Amino acid sequence: MPEARRKVGFAILLMVGATLCFAALDATSKHLSHTYPIPMMVWGRYTFHCLMMLVFLAPSMRLQLVATTRPMAQIIRALMLTGTTGFAMAGFSLMPLAESTAFLFVTPLVVVILSHWLLKESITRGHWLAVVAGFCGALLIARPGGALNMQGIIWMSLAAACYAVYQIQTRQLSPTENTLTMLFYTALVGTVSMTLAAPLYWGGPMPDWTDAALIASLGIYGGTGHLMLTRAFRYAAASFLSPFLYGQLVWAMLLGWIYYDHLPDLPSVAGMAVIVGSSLSIALMERFKSRQPAVK
């Protein structure tokens, strides 16, 4: 029992660390977006993530790192995450960290709709109520007359849509594909696609050593966060750990306050709470459904 508790405690610490990495990535990209084009930061985020995996995993995994039976599905999934990153960074450049992050947490609600449409999964009345409530929470954050930038809201909505498709594809690939291989393909495809597109967006300025280190840190934050997330799920069940993902909202509020002197207003906080509550209720319903005995 003490060993099991230690593993669960370690998993929680890994989840807290992962969400801090993701929030730091978002805060850093927001800072850099005032000087450099968004696609350049997307390139940095995936290139240095890819280099990390090549250095730490390629020597032991070798060809297993790229072994897959569904290469096209891996590539499409990776492009969806690349799109998520680009749209999200564009949104962060125009909106506060906490409110922008909250929009990304609408993703589980979109997944419910897409699962019903694409995977033909049954959706209960409780699921639909949670989806409607979650979108009402998003509208509360993006309410008419609020201080949020409409273009930023559009970018974050597109990021959430891409992220939902990415999660659906992850669900389809997970039963047959290695988790680290899937993670490597996201880094590799993001690197290759943004490198090939460089002539379309690169026009300076050339970063100095400090900014170059910050651009490299995007990949380090992303890669470290995803590796910590993967390791956490080895030590505890996903259904138990999933609520800790919403710690990213807390980190986003804290970093937004420290570095950008911004705290969300009361209606925005209420909207965030509704989104988190709706997403958690869906997770609990899925957990309860998985425990139901099969009807023969």
C-alpha 238/C-alpha 206 separation (Å) is 42
Q: Average of pLDDT values for 85-113?
A: 92
Evaluate if residue 111 carries a pLDDT over 60: yes
In a domain? residue 294:
no
In a domain? residue 40:
yes
In a domain? residue 282:
no
pLDDT reported for residue 287: 64
pLDDT digits (tens, 9 = 90+) for 118-140: 777 777 888 889 889 999 999 88
pLDDT digits (tens, 9 = 90+) for 203-244: 778 899 999 999 999 999 999 999 898 888 888 877 678 788
Evaluate if residue 78 carries a pLDDT over 90: yes
In a domain? residue 120:
no
Chain-wide mean pLDDT for the chain?
Answer: 89
Q: How many domains does the chain fold into? A: 1
Place of tokens 């009807």: 295
Look up the pTM and report it: 0.89
pLDDT reported for residue 295: 35
CA 62-64-66 angle, to 5 degrees, is: 95
User: Positive or negative CA dihedral for 61, 14, 219, 88?
Assistant: positive
In a domain? residue 124:
no
In a domain? residue 284:
no
**Residue 15 · residue 242 · CB < 8 Å:** no
C-alpha 184/C-alpha 205 separation (Å) is 30
In this prediction, residue 31 has a pLDDT band, given cuts at 50, 70 and 90, of very high
Range of the domain at 227: 2-105+139-262
Evaluate if residue 51 carries a pLDDT over 90: yes
C-alpha 213/C-alpha 125 separation (Å) is 49
What angle do the packed helices 150-173 and 107-118 form, to 10 degrees?
50
In a domain? residue 270:
no
In a domain? residue 216:
yes
